[in-house]
């Protein structure tokens, strides 16, 4: 009991250490040029001197310093941290990066192939940089439009050999599909058979040229009866 009391008093005394502003005056700092570890600037007692910190390896015993003003003489090396459970240096867990739906599906397909699962007929998905589905997916000799979940939008399949395949972007098909899910009314979509927006749009009796997103380009407008004269 006496030993326990002495230890407790020592701990409380250490906790009561206060680093005064003039604490470092006249302190003779040790030479750390030959440090076989990491030199920590102002890492000594009360920050008066640079200190030499020994870098521990994986599974080496480590500890947490609870004493105010008392520096630690060792710490876990690069890529390691001191586990509060085992009190040993362990590797830091790699941060899991959230994958987009297309990238996640692609990863699952690749893992299945690595495991030797039969995946005949499964296409190689086309994913955008953010991991979302590219609007245009291809399988076999045909390409088709898909929504944001990778589900095919019916009615917009084209042959890979079709002349319009290289310019297929499915923007109109996607916008139309997304709008239909809202249940709203009053908006029309002029889609080509390949899922792209038409190069023109008519509102009432007036027609004009549009871009790939269905937005008006230029200033030319013609009546619907003269649509054939509209050069887009």
- Strand (E) positions, the chain? 38-40, 51-56, 74-76, 80-82, 89-91, 136-139, 142-145, 158-159, 200-203, 206-210, 216-223
Strands 136-139 and 89-91: unpaired
Residues 165 and 132 in one domain: yes
Domain-located, residue 133: yes
pLDDT tens digits in sequence order for the chain, 232 residues long = 444 444 444 444 444 455 677 778 778 888 888 888 888 887 777 778 888 888 999 999 987 554 445 567 888 888 888 887 788 999 887 655 678 999 998 888 777 655 555 554 556 789 998 999 999 998 878 899 999 999 999 999 988 766 556 678 999 999 999 999 888 887 778 898 889 998 888 888 888 998 877 788 888 899 888 888 888 8
Domain-located, residue 13: no
Can you say whether residue 42 is alpha, beta or left, with left for phi > 0 and alpha for psi between -120 and 50 degrees?
left
CB atoms within 10 A of CB 184: 8
pTM of the model: 0.51
Residues 206 and 163 in one domain: no
Domain-located, residue 55: yes
Residue whose C-alpha is closest to residue 128's, from 157, 109, 103: 103
Give the N- to C-terminal CA distance of the chain in Å, as an integer. 95
Residues 204 and 178 in one domain: no
Q: Do residues 191 and 197 lie in contact, with contact meaning Cβ atoms separated by under 8 Å?
A: yes
Token representation of residue 149:
């979940």
Residues 178 and 132 in one domain: yes
Residues 202 and 178 in one domain: no
Token representation of residue 99:
């994958």
Q: What is the CATH number of the domain that holds 173?
A: 4.10.800
Residues 131 and 176 in one domain: yes
Q: For the range 47-55, what are the long-range contacts, defined as Cβ-Cβ under 8 Å and sequence gap of 24 or more?
A: 47/19, 48/23, 48/24, 49/24
Domain-located, residue 76: yes
Per-residue b or e along 31-43, where b marks 16 or more CB atoms closer than 10 Å to that residue's CB: ebeeeebbebeeb
Q: How many domains does the chain have?
A: 3
The domain boundary, picked from 51, 69, 93, lies at: 93
CB atoms within 10 A of CB 131: 17
Q: Do residues 184 and 191 lie in contact, with contact meaning Cβ atoms separated by under 8 Å?
A: no
Residue with tokens 């009360």: 46
Q: What is the CATH number of the domain that holds 51?
A: 2.10.80.20
Domain-located, residue 118: no
Residue 65: what pLDDT?
52
Domain-located, residue 134: yes
Residues 175 and 138 in one domain: yes
Domain-located, residue 158: yes
**Structural domain boundaries enclosing 69:** 36-93
Domain-located, residue 149: yes
């Amino acid at each position: 009991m006496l030993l326990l009391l002495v230890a407790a008093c020592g701990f409380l005394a250490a906790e009561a250490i206060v680093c005064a502003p003039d604490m470092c005056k006249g302190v003779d700092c040790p030479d750390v040029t030959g440090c076989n570890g990491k030199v920590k600037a102002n890492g000594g007692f009360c920050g008066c001197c640079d200190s030499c910190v020994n870098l521990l390896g994986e599974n080496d015993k480590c500890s947490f310093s609870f004493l105010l003003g008392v520096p630690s003489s060792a710490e876990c090396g690069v890529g390691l941290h001191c586990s509060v459970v085992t009190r040993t240096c362990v590797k830091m867990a790699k941060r899991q990066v959230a994958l987009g739906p297309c990238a996640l599906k692609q990863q699952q397909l690749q893992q299945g192939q690595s495991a030797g699962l039969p995946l005949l007929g499964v296409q190689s998905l086309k994913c955008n940089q953010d991991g979302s589905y590219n609007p245009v997916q291809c399988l076999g000799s045909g390409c088709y439009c898909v929504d944001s979940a990778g589900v095919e939008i019916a009615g917009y399949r084209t042959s890979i050999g079709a002349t319009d395949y290289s310019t297929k972007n499915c923007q109109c098909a996607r916008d139309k599909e997304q709008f239909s899910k809202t249940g709203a009314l009053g908006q029309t979509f002029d889609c080509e058979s390949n899922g792209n927006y038409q190069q023109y749009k008519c509102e009432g009796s007036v027609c004009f040229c549009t871009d790939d997103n269905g937005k008006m380009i230029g200033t030319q407008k013609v009546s619907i009866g003269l649509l054939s004269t509209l050069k887009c």
